[in-house]
């Protein structure tokens, strides 16, 4: 039995916003953003929605995997910025694709969301309950930003990534080799966004400003550079491999300094750490699947390559997956 990623897809909004564009509407500069984060631009929705981007990414992954909507029996969407509280993003995508027999639901684990969704799908597929899963990471983070908070809003972008995961049921096949995930709710408030306020006849309603994402950047940075190397090492060891045997480390694209620090801690060259944050910024749950699709479609991935996927973010949460392509 081999549970494998058989196809990838992604979608970025058409509207590209550079650092120079942002400098015209707020007190910032290309040098300030680039030197601290590595980010040069991001894509922001205008006409697109979280669900429309997800559908396009899903179609791309399905085409590559040669999978029809009728074959999909599980859809898991990782997001914190769905279009509706209800119905879920996964159900919206199910409707648009016509995947009538699929079970569809969302997972909320922020920047680790795609890894949590992949872990969940793996368990379902391994049990034999389902055979073909569509995994999504999709975000419209621009609607959750305070565009007067220059320290935070410049970091994030919008987009969607997708993967088709199948139980191939082939002897000796290699796919996903190990999975790891973790949480630390005690430090959750370092990256937060409040939900809707209580409004009922028995509560005095005070006029409240809409809540936006708040972040303690230093604490998030310290968490990431401390936790991600440990998670990656543990996942690789669990797979019975060494770090030197890994061909690519596909990390959540939050900050180039974090990625460089992880590479240094793991004693691995930066050539093994592909990046797209320069173009996309941080897209939370969509970050890892979009980057995976980027390097896949560039032809960088060869059969037999060993890859680590790793995400980290709000919750606080983290996850890692080791797989053979």
DSSP result, 177-240: EEEEEEE-GGGGGGEE---PPP-STTS-PPP-PPP--EE-HHHHHHHHHHHHHHHHHHHHHHTT
> Residues 13, 43: contact at Cβ < 8 Å?
yes
Which three-class secondary structure state does DSSP give residue 100? Answer: coil
How far is it, in rounded angstroms, from Cα 287 to Cα 250?
Answer: 10
Mean pLDDT, range 117-136, rounded to an integer: 96
Q: Which residues are catalytic?
A: 111, 252, 282
Bridge partner list, 161 = 10, 137
Is the pTM higher than 0.85? The answer reads yes
Domains of the chain: 3-167 (3.40.47.10), 176-324 (3.40.47.10)
Once rounded to an integer, what is the mean pLDDT over residues 40-69? 98
Between 45-54, 196-205, 258-267, the lowest mean confidence (pLDDT) is in 196-205
Average pLDDT over residues 253-272: 97
Q: Which pLDDT score is estimated for 281?
A: 97
pLDDT at 270: 98
pLDDT of the residue at 217: 80
Lowest mean pLDDT among 89-103, 153-167, 184-198: 184-198
CA distance 185 to 202: 30
Mean pLDDT of the region 225-231: 95
pLDDT reading at 171 higher than 70: no
Residue 215 binned pLDDT confidence (cut-offs 50, 70, 90): confident
Instruction: Give the pair of three-digit tokens for residue 8.
Output: 């990838």
Query: How many whole angstroms separate alpha carbon 86 and alpha carbon 212?
Result: 20
Split at pLDDT 50, 70, 90, the class of 210 is confident
pLDDT confidence tier of residue 204, bands split at 50, 70 and 90: confident
- The fraction of the chain above a pLDDT of 90, given in percent, is 83
The confidence score (pLDDT) of residue 200 equals: 83
Quote the mean pLDDT of the chain: 94
pLDDT interval class at 183 (50, 70, 90): very high
- Where helices occur in the chain by DSSP H, the ranges are 19-23, 30-37, 50-65, 89-97, 113-127, 150-153, 217-238, 256-266, 277-280, 287-297
| pLDDT value for 173 | 62
């Amino acid at each position: 039995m081999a549970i494998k990623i058989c196809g990838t897809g992604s979608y970025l909004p058409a509207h590209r916003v550079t650092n120079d564009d942002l400098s015209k509407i707020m007190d910032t500069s290309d040098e300030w953003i680039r030197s601290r984060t590595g980010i040069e631009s991001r894509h922001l929705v205008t006409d697109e929605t979280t669900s429309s981007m997800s559908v396009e990414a899903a179609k791309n992954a399905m085409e590559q995997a040669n999978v029809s909507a009728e074959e999909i029996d599980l859809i898991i969407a990782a997001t914190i910025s769905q279009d509706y509280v209800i119905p879920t993003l996964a159900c919206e995508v199910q409707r648009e694709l016509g995947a009538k027999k699929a079970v569809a639901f969302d997972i909320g684990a922020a920047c680790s969301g795609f890894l949590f969704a992949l872990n969940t799908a793996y368990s379902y597929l391994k049990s034999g309950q389902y055979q073909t899963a569509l995994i999504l990471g999709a975000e419209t983070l621009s609607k959750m930003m305070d565009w007067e908070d220059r320290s935070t809003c410049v970091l994030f972008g919008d987009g969607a990534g997708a993967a088709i995961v199948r139980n191939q049921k082939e002897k000796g096949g290699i796919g996903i080799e190990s999975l790891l995930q973790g949480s630390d709710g005690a430090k959750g408030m370092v990256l937060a966004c409040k939900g809707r306020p209580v409004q009922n006849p028995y509560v005095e309603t005070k006029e409240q400003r809409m809540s936006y994402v708040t972040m303690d950047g230093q604490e998030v940075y310290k968490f990431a550079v401390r936790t991600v190397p440990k998670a990656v090492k543990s996942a690789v060891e669990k797979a019975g491999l060494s770090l030197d045997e890994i061909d690519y480390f596909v990390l959540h694209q939050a900050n180039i300094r974090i990625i460089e620090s992880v590479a240094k801690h793991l004693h691995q060259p930066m050539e093994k750490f592909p990046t797209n944050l320069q173009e996309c910024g941080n897209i939370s749950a969509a970050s890892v699947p979009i980057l995976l699709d980027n390097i896949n479609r560039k032809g960088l991935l060869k059969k037999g390559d060993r890859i680590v996927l790793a995400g980290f973010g709000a919750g606080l949460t983290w996850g890692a997956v080791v797989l053979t392509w």
